[in-house]
Amino acid sequence: MAAVTPAMRTFLTESRRLSNRRIKRELRFRLRYPTVREGLRRMW
């Protein structure tokens, strides 16, 4: 598993958050990791 570089960490913390409300509402899509934080936690 690759480590997150300082540049990637900066990118992830500065990226704008996107709403996933529409994909969940219109497609009834259920996200495995609803937030970036949960996805990153799963990586480690």
The confidence band for 4, taking pLDDT boundaries of 50, 70 and 90, is confident
> For 2-14, what is the mean pLDDT?
81
Comparing CA positions, the residue from 13, 14, 35, 16 lying closest to residue 24 is 35
- Is 8 part of a structural domain of the chain? no
Q: Check residue 12 and give its pLDDT.
A: 77
Q: Are 33 and 42 in contact (CB under 8 A)?
A: yes
What is the residue range of 27's domain? 19-44
- Rounded distance between C-alpha atoms, residue 19 and residue 2, angstroms: 27
- Is 9 part of a structural domain of the chain? no
CA atoms within 13 A on the CB side of 12: 12
Residues 10-38 pLDDT 10s: 887 776 667 778 888 888 888 888 888 88
- Is 37 part of a structural domain of the chain? yes
- Is 26 part of a structural domain of the chain? yes
Q: Check residue 18 and give its pLDDT.
A: 72
Q: Are 12 and 4 in contact (CB under 8 A)?
A: yes
Question: What total of structural domains would you count in the chain?
Answer: 1
Q: Check residue 15 and give its pLDDT.
A: 66
- Is 32 part of a structural domain of the chain? yes
Report residue 26 as tokens: 């219109």
- Is 7 part of a structural domain of the chain? no
